[in-house]
Every structure is written in structure tokens, then in C-alpha cells.
Amino acid sequence: MYLGIAFKLISALLFTVMAALIRAVGHDAPTGEIVFARSFFALAPLLAWLAWRGAIRSALATRRPLGHMLRGLVGVGSMFCLFAALARLPLPDATVLGYAAPLITVVFAAVLLRERIHAIRWTAVAVGLVGVVVMLWPQLRSGALADVVTGKGPVDETAAGVAFALGATVLTASAMIQIRRLTQTEGTGAIVFYFSIWSAVIGLATLPFGWVWPDVRIAALLVGVGVVGGVAQIFLTESYRLADASLIAPFEYSTILWALAIGFLAFGDLPSGWTLVGGAIVVMSSVAVVIRERQLGIKRARVRKASPPSPMA
């Protein structure tokens, strides 16, 4: 259990480092090129890990290739939006806005998967969305976000970054729903492997649209984005293997500590008061959702344990 928590914390740190590398290269390379690098160079640590576990063959085996394609399309859309947001927003702001994804996932799970959502989780989602509004209030009050969405007036880079971050949040929640569907028949290795393949292919398809020939610095950053992201994915996967998801999920919010530290030291980023207040509301509501999920999971396990085994035919 404790090793699972430790791996989750390491993955949170590594994903924040990856985000910082993306922020550093975001103005020097197009988003499609960064998406390709994130996916292609992540394959090296991923395949090495699968080989070490002797799971390459099982990772390649799939019964739902179209499901993986859909997960890849949605996930790549999320990456495009996230990477575009990181190029325009302070690292802590982009990180905190991403915390709304679990809340939107609850809504999508109710609508798309027909999951039964009780009042406690709906209340937490409503409170969390209020926190999102608090974070966005400066952009909403000035009308800059509305101008970006409607295409009217000059584009404010910060407002554009916020719009991209919101798009990434919605698409991330959609990807989580598709992953839930895939886990019914597919292993973790297959889901991660095929996502990396599809992401690399879609990123490569943007080659005719303005890729740059990287110098040593840009090349190092692009390779670093992929390798660090791949290693982070391995630690994340292992953390969920070693501990219950509902136990380690709240440790995802340690990313704000890393984002604050790395953002300030590397870029001089400081979050606004609106971001801190709204982010705190979102984090608390998201943790409430996670705690409720854990309680329901324990309850379901007790019911299954107490139920007598069905007679064999």
C-alpha cells in the first residue's frame, strides 16, 4: 500500500516536470510536434518496462482496436489542448484547472455509462464547478474568455490558454470514460501501448503544418517530454497495481505543490488569488468525490462477501 502511494507521488512529480518541459518548449515548437515527441519517445521506457515484466505479447493483444482508436483520438485532443494551454498559462494555473476533470467525469459517467450518482457526489460536483467559476472569474468578468470562444475582438493569450485548459479538461474526462469501457476487456499495458501508438501517428500527421527542425536545446526538451512522460506513466500504472485507486487518487493533488515550486523557480510563475481560492474549492470537492467512491467500493465489497455463492447448475 505504502509503495503504491510512493509511486503515485513520484508519478505526480514526473508529470509536473513533463508539463514544465512542455511549457519551456511550447513557444519554440508547434503543438503537433510536441504531441508526437510525448508519445513516440515514451515508447522506449514503456516497451522496456513491458519487456522486463514479460508482457509485450499481452500488451499487443487486443479485442477492441476501434476502442483504442477512439481513446487515442480523444486523448490526443486532450493533449493538444493541454499543451497549448501550458504554452500560454502559468504552470500552477494550468495544473489547477485540470483538477476539474474528475468532476466532469462523474457527470459523463452518469450520462454515458448510466452510472447511478447519489446526492453526495452531485453536491461535490456542483461545489467543484463553483470553484472552476471562481478560477475563471477574472476572464469572465473582463469578457476576454467570451471573446476567445466567440472569435470576436483581439485574442488575449491568457484567455486563450484558459479556453484550451477547459477543453483539455472536458476531453480528459471523455478519455477517462473510454478507458473505463476498455478496462472491461483490455489490460493496462494494451491501453497505454495503443494510446502511445495512436498519439504518435496523429502527432506525426501534423508534420506538413509547420514543424520546426529542432536545435540541440529544443531536441533535448522534446525527448525529455517523451521519456519523462513515459516513466511517469509506468509509475502511475504500478501505483494502481499496488494500492486501491480510491486510496491513492487524492495524492494526485500533490501536483499543485510541484507546480508551484517548479513554476516559480523555472519561470517565475505565481498563481493569482482567484486561482488559489477556486483551486482549493475544486480540490476539496474532488477529494470528497474520491472518499465517497471509496466508501461505496468498501460497501460493495462487503455485500459481495456476505452474499452466498450461487449454486452450480
pLDDT at 70: 92
Band of the pLDDT at 313, cuts 50, 70, 90?
Answer: very low
Average pLDDT over residues 150-167: 84
Q: Which residue has the cell 494526485?
A: 252
Query: Is residue 310 domain-resident?
Result: no
- The pLDDT, as a whole number, for residue 312 is 41
- Domain-located, residue 178: yes
Per residue in 131-151, is it b (16+ CB within 10 Å) or e — as a string? Answer: bbebbbebbeeeebbebbeee
What is the predicted pLDDT for the residue at 296? 63
Measured in degrees and rounded to the nearest 5, phi and psi for residue 176 equal -65, -35
Q: Which three cell numbers stand for residue 276?
A: 488559489
Instruction: Determine the pLDDT at residue 28.
Output: 94
pLDDT in tens, 198-238: 999 999 999 999 899 999 999 999 999 999 999 998 888 78
**Residue 41 pLDDT greater than 90, yes or no:** yes
Residue 312 in any domain: the answer is no
pLDDT (0 to 100) of residue 50: 86
Q: What is the percent of the chain where pLDDT is above 90?
A: 36
Determine the Cα–Cα distance for residues 174 and 228; give it in Å rounded to an integer.
24
| Residues 18/232, Cβ–Cβ less than 8 Å | yes
Q: Is residue 241 part of a domain?
A: yes
**Among 35-49, 178-192, 221-235, whose mean pLDDT is lowest?**
178-192
- pLDDT tens, position by position, 62-106: 888 899 999 999 999 999 999 999 999 999 999 989 888 888 888
Q: Which of 18, 46, 11, 51 is nearest to 194 (CA)?
A: 46
The C-alpha atoms of residue 42 and residue 155 are separated, in whole angstroms, by 34
Per residue in 89-100, pLDDT (tens digit) is 999 999 989 888
Q: Residue 8 is placed in which grid cell?
A: 503515485
* List of residues 6+ apart from 307 with CB closer than 8 A: none
What per-residue confidence (pLDDT) applies to 311?
45
pLDDT band at 156 (very low <50, low <70, confident <90, very high): confident
Q: What is the mean pLDDT of residues 108-125?
A: 82
Please enumerate in sequence order all residues whose Cβ is within 8 A of that of 102, keeping only pairs 6 or more positions apart, or say none. 173, 249, 286, 289, 290
pLDDT at 13: 94
pLDDT at 297 > cutoff 70 = no
Residue 194 grid coordinates: 495503443
Distance (Å) of CA 20 to CA 45, 101, 134, 176, 283: 20, 20, 25, 23, 21
Q: Residue 223 has what pLDDT?
A: 97
Residue 114 forms part of a structural domain: yes
The stretch 272-298 carries a mean pLDDT of 79
Residue 299 lies in a domain: yes
Q: What is the mean pLDDT of the chain?
A: 85
- Measured between alpha carbons, how far apart are the two ends of the chain, in Å? 39
The lowest-confidence range among 32-41, 172-181, 240-249 is: 240-249
Say if CB 112 and CB 173 are below 8 A apart: no
Specify whether the CB–CB gap between 22 and 41 falls below 8 A: no
Question: Is residue 311 a part of any domain in this protein?
Answer: no
Residue 13 belongs to a domain: yes
For residue 216, give the amino acid letter.
V
Across 250-266, average pLDDT: 88
Find the domain containing 37 and state its range. 2-305
This prediction's pTM:
0.83
- In the chain, the number of structural domains is 1
